[in-house]
Structure 1
Amino acid sequence: MSVISYALKRNPLIASLTDTNDLDKVLDSDCNIIILIQSDIGTLKEIVDRIRETDKLIFVHLDLTKGLKRDASGVKFLSEFVGVDGIITTHTNLIQVAKQYNLLTIQRVFILDTASIKQGIKSINSSKPDAVEILPGVVVPHIQNYLKSLSDQTIIAAGLIHSEDEIQHILQNGAQGVSSSSLGLWNKE
């Protein structure tokens, strides 16, 4: 069982931190995984160091980090200087680079139509990330048949998920985890 799968078995909800003013709330949450979204390179290490004091896994959304270039040097910086556990990206080539630095990887895939599902699966099969984040997450139950071909992948749903009922429905129908920036959901299992 992968590190990500183990953390999600303990609590399937992932805290996506979009506002650093909510850092204390995420640190106090029951979530075992934190995704830093829209972080800033100037404060990133300080935030990661605070999270590091807990036993939570730390992921940085590489594509949305201000001041950080989406290339091999950016991945190396996150690994060697910042000390994150993993990255999230839409870029297949960065998944491979992150693996060279022993980082956990989550590939973000946007589902717009059947063609995007097929292209996403092709990309995932090529890059072989540790987990896949499907956006919008509310579509996961509707694309279960396509996701069966990703049987080795941990599926995370994210985006447009607003209630505990939606979370439960998604978890019962194709996802092992749900990522949310909604503070009110972080302490619910």
Structure 2
Amino acid sequence: MQGFTRGIFLKGIIASLWEFSDPREIPVDNVFILNSTLTSLPEEIKSCHEAGKRVFVHLDFVEGLSEGRAAIEYLKSIGADGLISVKLSNYHHARKVGIPLVLRVFALDSKAVEKAYQQVKANGVEMVEILPGCASLKVGPTFKELGINVITGGLVTTPQEARKILKVVDAISTTTRELWVKGKI
């Protein structure tokens, strides 16, 4: 799929960072910055780029940053390659600004999954992250039917779990460093 995402399609393992660490020590190509501050984020993005990483920023967790179009324009201007949010309104702003956004959805129960699926389908969302990761075994194929980039994250801690999950989704975002392996896990 190649829409406003500019051909970005996330595959394999994505390093998720709640606390920023040296990107030169991260062996995978994609990084999700899940927590940062307005003042430290530009340098974090720069460090990731210098290490050859693609960087997605969870805009809902950047301290000092509000939501909306201006926030998204700012994140694009400082070099974020993409964004992450749980808010559909941020997806629409990102689309207008021209930066990819991974919409996080929570698979809490069948009603939540159905609502998320309908929102993703109706709004043309191109990248979705299903949380928690173990739920993707059940609902990942449903989202894959939409022809979109399906990522999962949360509670995936072993190589065995990761291998099983990667059979039904495109990528796994994880804080578990043992899973940060380039290529086959």
Contact 1:111-1:134 within 8 A present in 2 as well: yes
Equivalent position amino acid for 2:54 in 1: L
Contact 2:94-2:100 within 8 A present in 1 as well: yes
Equivalent position amino acid for 1:186 in 2: W
CA–CA distance in structure 1, aligned partners of residues 44 and 141 of structure 2 = 39
- The CA deviation string for residues 40-62 of structure 1, in whole angstroms up to 9 with x for no partner, is 11100011111111332110001
Structure 1 residue runs of 5 or longer lacking an equivalent are none
CA–CA distance in structure 2, aligned partners of residues 52 and 157 of structure 1 = 23
- The CA deviation string for residues 104-155 of structure 1, in whole angstroms up to 9 with x for no partner, is 11100001110001100111113323311000011111224533442x2111
2:71 to 71, 74, 92: 74
CA–CA distance in structure 2, aligned partners of residues 34 and 171 of structure 1 = 17
Structure 2 residue runs of 5 or longer lacking an equivalent are none
1:92 to 88, 93, 96: 88
1:30 Cα deviation after fit: 2.4
RMSD: 1.6
1:62 to 59, 63, 67: 59
Q: Size of the alignment, in residue pairs?
A: 179
TM-score, with structure 1 as normaliser: 0.88
Alignment of 1:179 with 2:173, yes or no, is yes
Alignment of 1:160 with 2:155, yes or no, is yes
Q: 1:167 to 1:145 in 2, by over 3 A?
A: closer
Contact 1:93-1:127 within 8 A present in 2 as well: no
Runs of 4+ in 1 over 4 A off after TM superposition: none
**The residue matched to 1:178 in structure 2 has which SS?**
strand
Contact 2:144-2:169 within 8 A present in 1 as well: no
TM-score, with structure 2 as normaliser: 0.89
**The residue matched to 2:72 in structure 1 has which SS?**
helix
**The residue matched to 1:4 in structure 2 has which SS?**
coil
Alignment of 1:18 with 2:30, yes or no, is no
Structure 1 or 2: larger helix share?
A: 1
